[in-house]
């Protein structure tokens, strides 16, 4: 590349424009249709019209740039790359800022962040105030938590435009530094100038929650610093940070906790929930959970409390953890624990009940009935087993057995609602209609 690529490229573009044939009326019509398609966000039609225009002007750098963008939007990465090669050739082998930015966009889509950043920086070397490249580079650096590099780019963007995204990003950086005066200042600007913007509204709500938790956040900061080898303070702070709109910092704490206890399923689940809350559902899924995440402190606390005993093979702890996993929507893990609990102690009623519930959830009704029967064989008066069993038998139309089970339960725990249910069962036995 020459020392002055931009003037050379610009001169070549001008030459191409001067030498190009004047647009025909047909071209004018296609251009008009293309603008209408773009306004309507009809990318397929816009792409087709761009291709038709290129048939008349195959070396037009602007049309080639538009086509590359459209291929990228359509996920046609190889076609995008080929089109960018054509655009570089149309520029005489030189690269202008638009081409370099587009090459960065393509690299980003291909999962090559290092290449993407290098291309965007090269574009900015030619056009330091190129807002689109600045915004993409700042966003990438923000995701990588490179605040030292991101912050000056965000500040430069605010010199060129007044977008909520940049104010919000800088407010989050200030919050990470615990510079709450700067957070308030950014928030006030958003309220004064972007009160109706969707992202500004969302940040305003998050900021209100953040400012209400400043004292608690300071306490947790001190606790994490004082107990760096304990997972509890880090996870407690992670939940708080996630709730107040600082998901990136929450993930730092979640990952720190998992690094301290890499074998903990409870911590892994919490990290998955934090990733999902941060909009990183794909990474959350790679941690091995079903895509249902509930940061329910009570359940997660119970999950952590029984984890050590469950991993040691305690049938009772495994059965208990199975129920918690089931409540959190993790049926596959719940089933694994329930089966392990039954294998560890087949005569433990709560293990059989845990298995029965999972089998019923999966539609394995015969297996569920067998598990309930095994629980009741060990403890004929086990209320939870009697309750689940009579409902399951009624569900499958076996009202005689449902009646017998409900009568046993009524003798232990008499309630008006159970009496009403038992009356329906008896009616179904007599005339086949449970209503």
For residue 281, tell me if it sits in a domain: yes
For residue 116, tell me if it sits in a domain: no
pTM over 0.75: no
> Are residues 339 and 426 both part of a single domain?
no
In this prediction, residue 358 carries a pLDDT of 97
In this prediction, residue 6 carries a pLDDT of 47
- Mean pLDDT in the chain? 91
For residue 238, tell me if it sits in a domain: yes
Tell me the mean pLDDT in the region 237-255: 93
Domains held by the chain: number:
2
302-356 pLDDT, tens digit each: 999 999 999 999 999 999 999 999 999 999 999 999 999 999 999 999 999 999 9
pLDDT at 18 over 60: no
> Are residues 245 and 357 both part of a single domain?
yes
Tell me the mean pLDDT in the region 17-22: 44
> Are residues 394 and 432 both part of a single domain?
yes
> Are residues 342 and 252 both part of a single domain?
yes
> Are residues 352 and 406 both part of a single domain?
no
Tell me the mean pLDDT in the region 60-69: 95
pLDDT at 2 over 50: no
Tell me the mean pLDDT in the region 353-375: 97
Query: Domain ends where: 320, 345, 370?
Result: 370
- Three-state SS across the chain? CCCCHHHHHHHHHHHHHHHCCCCCHHHHHHHHHHHHHHHCCCHHHHHHHHHHHHHHCCCCHHHHHHHHHHHHHCCCHHHHHHHHHHHHHHCCCCCCHHHHHHHHHHHHHCCCHHHHHHHHHHHHHHCCCCHHHHHHHHHHHHHCCCHHHHHHHHHHHHHHCCCHHHHHHHHHHHHHCCCHHHHHHHHHHHHHHCCCCHHHHHHHHHHHHHHHCHHHHHHHHHHHHHCCCCHHHHHHHHHHHHHCCCHHHHHHHHHHHHHHCCCCHHHHHHHHHHHHHCCCHHHHHCCCCCCCCCCCHHHHHHHHHHHHHHHCCCHHHHHHHHHHHHHCCCHHHHHHHHHHHHHHCCCCHHHHHHHHHHHHHCCCHHHHHHHHHHHHHHCCCCHHHHHHHHHHHHHCCCHHHHHHHHHHHHHHCCCHHHHHHHHHHHHHHHHCCCC
What CATH number did the domain enclosing 338 receive? 1.25.40
268-311 pLDDT, tens digit each: 999 999 999 888 988 998 998 888 887 778 888 899 999 999 99
> Are residues 260 and 351 both part of a single domain?
yes
> Are residues 292 and 415 both part of a single domain?
no
In this prediction, residue 288 carries a pLDDT of 87
210-233 pLDDT, tens digit each: 999 999 999 999 999 999 999 999
> Are residues 393 and 331 both part of a single domain?
no
Domain of 424 in residue numbering reads as 380-435
Query: Domain ends where: 370, 391, 413?
Result: 370
86-98 pLDDT, tens digit each: 999 999 999 999 9
Query: Domain ends where: 317, 349, 370?
Result: 370
Tell me the mean pLDDT in the region 224-244: 94
134-192 pLDDT, tens digit each: 999 999 999 898 999 999 999 999 999 999 999 999 999 999 999 999 999 999 999 99
Share of the chain above pLDDT 70, in %: 93
Q: Report residue 25's pLDDT band, with 50, 70 and 90 as the boundaries.
A: low
> 32: which residues sit within 8 A by CB, 6+ positions away?
none
For residue 315, tell me if it sits in a domain: yes
> Are residues 420 and 366 both part of a single domain?
no
In this prediction, residue 209 carries a pLDDT of 94
For residue 32, tell me if it sits in a domain: no
pLDDT at 196 over 70: yes
For residue 291, tell me if it sits in a domain: yes
For residue 288, tell me if it sits in a domain: yes
> Are residues 351 and 386 both part of a single domain?
no
For residue 264, tell me if it sits in a domain: yes
Q: Report residue 28's pLDDT band, with 50, 70 and 90 as the boundaries.
A: confident
In this prediction, residue 13 carries a pLDDT of 44
Q: Report residue 432's pLDDT band, with 50, 70 and 90 as the boundaries.
A: low
> Are residues 248 and 319 both part of a single domain?
yes
> Are residues 388 and 309 both part of a single domain?
no
């Amino acid at each position: 590349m020459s020392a002055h690529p931009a003037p050379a490229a610009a001169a070549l573009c001008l030459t191409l424009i001067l030498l190009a044939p004047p647009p025909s009326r047909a071209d004018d019509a296609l251009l008009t249709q293309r603008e209408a398609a773009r306004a309507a966000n009809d990318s397929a039609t816009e792409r087709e019209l761009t291709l038709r225009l290129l048939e008349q002007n195959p070396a037009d750098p602007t049309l080639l740039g538009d086509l590359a963008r459209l291929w990228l939007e359509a996920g046609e990465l190889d076609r995008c790359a080929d089109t960018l090669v054509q655009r570089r050739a149309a520029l005489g082998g030189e690269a202008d800022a638009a081409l370099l930015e587009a090459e960065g966009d393509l690299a980003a889509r291909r999962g090559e962040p290092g290449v993407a950043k290098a291309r965007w920086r090269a574009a900015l070397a030619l056009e330091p105030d190129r807002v689109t490249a600045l915004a993409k580079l700042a966003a990438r650096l923000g995701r990588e938590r490179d605040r030292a590099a991101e912050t000056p780019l965000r500040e430069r963007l605010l010199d060129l435009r007044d977008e909520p995204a940049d104010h919000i990003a800088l407010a989050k950086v200030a919050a990470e530094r615990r510079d709450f005066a700067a957070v308030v200042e950014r928030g006030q600007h958003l309220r004064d100038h972007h009160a109706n913007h969707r992202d500004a509204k969302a940040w305003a709500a998050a900021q209100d929650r953040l400012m209400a938790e400043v004292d608690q956040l300071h306490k947790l900061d001190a606790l994490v610093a004082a107990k760096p080898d304990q997972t509890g303070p880090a996870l407690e702070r992670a939940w708080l940070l996630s709730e107040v709109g600082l998901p990136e910092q929450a993930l730092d704490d979640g990952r720190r906790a998992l690094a301290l206890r890499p074998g903990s399923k409870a911590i892994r689940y919490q990290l998955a929930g934090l990733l999902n809350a941060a909009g990183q559902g794909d990474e959350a899924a790679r941690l091995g959970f079903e895509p249902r995440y509930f940061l329910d402190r009570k359940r997660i606390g119970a999950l952590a409390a029984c984890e050590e005993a469950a991993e040691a093979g305690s049938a009772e702890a495994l059965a208990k953890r199975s129920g918690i996993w089931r409540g959190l929507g993790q049926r596959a893990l719940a089933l694994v624990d329930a089966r392990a609990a039954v294998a560890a102690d087949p005569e433990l009623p709560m293990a059989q009940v845990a298995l029965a519930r999972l089998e019923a959830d999966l539609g394995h009704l015969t297996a569920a009935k067998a598990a309930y029967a095994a629980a009741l064989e060990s403890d004929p008066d086990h209320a939870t087993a009697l309750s689940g069993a009579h409902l399951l038998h009624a569900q499958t139309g076996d009202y005689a057995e449902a009646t017998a089970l409900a009568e046993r339960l009524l003798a232990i725990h008499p309630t008006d609602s159970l009496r009403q249910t038992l009356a329906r069962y008896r009616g179904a036995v007599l005339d086949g209609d449970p209503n």
